[in-house]
A and B are shown apart, each in its own frame.
Chain A
Amino acid sequence: MGGLREGSERFARLCGQGAVVALTLLPLAWLGLSALRGTLGANPVETLEHTTGNWTLRLLLASLAVTPVRRALGWSWLAPYRRTLGLAAFGYCTVHLLSYALVDLWGAWDTLVEDVLERPYVSAGLTGFVLLLPLAITSTRGWQRRLGRSWVRLHRLVYAAGIAGCLHFLWLVKADLREPLVHTGILAALLGARLLPRLRRALRV
């Protein structure tokens, strides 16, 4: 009986993971289909960049929300989705970076170099990607075991990546700051949810 129950739980987890992976791939599928049908709008490269950039931030924030929500509601089954969502964010971040560097600026290599060195919004975005890279690499169970307590410390970098992503967005828009501010506000709330209990504990001691 125990074996059967364990088996059905594993099946449920697998279904859940499958569903979340499929959901995170929907925007990418939409992009691919629209590109094939030629319906990405007047500036398809920009649509590609904006869509992948937006989903990077959304999925990163969703991944950061997993732990606070799990704790607040006692939903322990949420825990594995933190990694799934984080890896999806990294995936969109990679496509975002490639669509900028290899599609948008194809052949304009001098502009690419100049952008990376001189444009704060590009530097911030690239910083975010560089911060996510080691997290994606060490996301496996093997690395988690090998790194032990340092794994937790290393993966706090995700907040730095989130800040870099929000700065990237804020420094990019011309006048309408609503969207980047909403993202920044959510990031600040999530960061606060993690820091406040620690602060309270520290003050009590």
Chain B
Amino acid sequence: MAGIATPVFLCLETATAPAPYKDHPEGSARMLIRTNFLGELPERDATDPTLYLRRRELIRTAAVAAGLLLLPGCGRAEGDGTARPADSPDGFSTDEPQTPFEDAASYNNFYELGTDKGDPAENAGALVTRPWSVSIEGEVAKPGNVSLEQLLAATPLVERIYRLRCVEAWSMVIPWRGLPLREVLARFEPTSRAKYVAFRTLHDPARMPGQRRPVLDWPYREGLRIDEAMHPLTLLATGMYGRDLPGQNGAPLRLVVPWKYGFKSIKSIVSIRLQETQPQTSWNLAAPNEYGFYSNVNPEVDHPRWSQKRERRIGDFRRRRTLPFNGYAEQVAQLYAGMDLRANF
């Protein structure tokens, strides 16, 4: 349903992009100034000097924008991934403090770009994402290979602030920008035999140097049951913190399924296949007893080698308790009614 987006969009990218994560609802009211042990203000908390020097221009832009808001029929900007989406009034976003962009873009699990947390950011330059196309195949009435631009043009972007819980027991809060997957899939008209959705990452060792070693069985594959894929929480993200996705975060198109462990949210997608059978998934193939197909966040079911009861929110010192379905039980628990979540981990 496209009704999520408000009818008026404005392209304020230049004005808002450099420090968008300060747009936190409570940011201006009670801004948290974190200094390090020496009392220095970390670089990331200082106002970008270019922003500061352009303050008059920004105010002017904002004033013009405010004026434009009052004009009827002012259409949205091009759907090329740079337009600023409307705030989503759907109640799915959390108002918890957001993880600093620097942390979310420097602490990544993206083995295609290296297995150390810092590798993906370092190697992201190799991942050229223009041009990019995605094939939608299998049990759909209208299969096709569409360019990223085509994919984005037809569906309004939404912004969602989600918790992300990694299977390694750390978590973040990230403002994503993207398309609800259900709206994308609907355009290709899934048939009645479409019971599952299989996703595939790009396989190109030139652009993904991590694929030169067989750490996993490349390309990376993930999958969802169709009802999980059609759930309104499930997002195909193209951006975060008000800007396009950095390479290390899965540019140009990634899945975000906030109630599942992070590895389910496959990055740099080139193929979406609807099918009747449950798809194979990469981590399940690598270690079937450790990573199940569902991999819903569940503090009651430990990873065989470590506990899932608690997690460290990046930026926090102490661990916090992990919530069932990563805190989204109210929205998704009914999808698994009657299922043994210990057996279907």
Chain A interface residues toward B at CB < 8 A: 35-38, 41-43, 45-46, 104-108, 110-111, 114-115, 119-121, 171-172, 174-176
On whether A108 and B38 interact (CB within 8 A), knowing A41-B118, A119-B305, A175-B111, the answer reads: no
Are A119 and B306 in contact, CB atoms less than 8 angstroms apart? yes
Residue of A36, A114, A175 most packed against chain B (CB within 10 A): A175
Residue in A36, A111, A171 whose beta carbon sits within 8 Å of that of B36 in the complex: A36
Are A115 and B111 in contact, CB atoms less than 8 angstroms apart? no
For B170, give the chain A residue with the smallest CB separation: A43
Interface residues of B in 36-56 (CB under 8 A from A): 36-38, 40, 42
Interface residues of B in 180-202 (CB under 8 A from A): none
On whether A175 and B286 interact (CB within 8 A), knowing A41-B107, A106-B318, the answer reads: yes
On whether A176 and B305 interact (CB within 8 A), knowing A35-B37, A36-B37, A41-B107, the answer reads: no
Nearest chain B CB to A51 CB, angstrom units: 13
Are A111 and B309 in contact, CB atoms less than 8 angstroms apart? yes
- Complex interface: chain B residues within 8 A of A41 (CB): 106-107, 117-118
For B315, give the chain A residue with the smallest CB separation: A42
For B35, give the chain A residue with the smallest CB separation: A38
Are A45 and B317 in contact, CB atoms less than 8 angstroms apart? yes
Q: Is B314 an interface residue (CB 8 A)?
A: yes
Residue in B37, B42, B115, B310 whose beta carbon sits within 8 Å of that of A111 in the complex: B310
List 23 A-B pairs, Cβ < 8 Å.
A37-B37, A37-B40, A38-B38, A38-B40, A38-B42, A41-B106, A41-B107, A41-B117, A42-B102, A42-B107, A42-B117, A43-B117, A108-B310, A111-B310, A115-B307, A119-B306, A120-B305, A171-B305, A174-B168, A175-B215, A175-B286, A176-B111, A176-B215
Q: Is B22 an interface residue (CB 8 A)?
A: no
Chain B interface residues toward A at CB < 8 A: 36-38, 40, 42, 102-104, 106-107, 111, 115, 117-118, 168, 170, 215-216, 286-287, 305-307, 309-310, 312, 314-315, 317-319
Nearest chain A CB to B126 CB, angstrom units: 18
Are B319 and A42 in contact, CB atoms less than 8 angstroms apart? no
Residue of B102, B107, B168, B318 most packed against chain A (CB within 10 A): B318
- Complex interface: chain B residues within 8 A of A111 (CB): 307, 309-310, 319
Residue of B102, B286, B307, B318 most packed against chain A (CB within 10 A): B307
Task: Give A110 to B321 CA distance when docked, in angstroms.
Answer: 12
Nearest chain B CB to A42 CB, angstrom units: 4
Q: Please name 9 further chain A to chain B contacts, defined as beta carbons within 8 Å, in addition to the given A36-B37, A41-B107, A111-B307, sorted by A numbering.
A: A42-B102, A42-B314, A43-B170, A106-B318, A108-B319, A111-B310, A174-B287, A175-B216, A175-B286
Are B107 and A43 in contact, CB atoms less than 8 angstroms apart? yes
Task: Give A46 to B118 CA distance when docked, in angstroms.
Answer: 13
Nearest chain B CB to A33 CB, angstrom units: 10
- Complex interface: chain A residues within 8 A of B102 (CB): 42
- Complex interface: chain A residues within 8 A of B111 (CB): 175-176
- Complex interface: chain B residues within 8 A of A37 (CB): 36-38, 40
Nearest chain A CB to B52 CB, angstrom units: 23
Nearest chain A CB to B192 CB, angstrom units: 37
- Complex interface: chain B residues within 8 A of A114 (CB): 307
Nearest chain A CB to B219 CB, angstrom units: 15
- Complex interface: chain A residues within 8 A of B168 (CB): 174
Task: Give A120 to B302 CA distance when docked, in angstroms.
Answer: 14
For A176, give the chain B residue with the smallest CB separation: B115
Task: Give A110 to B309 CA distance when docked, in angstroms.
Answer: 10
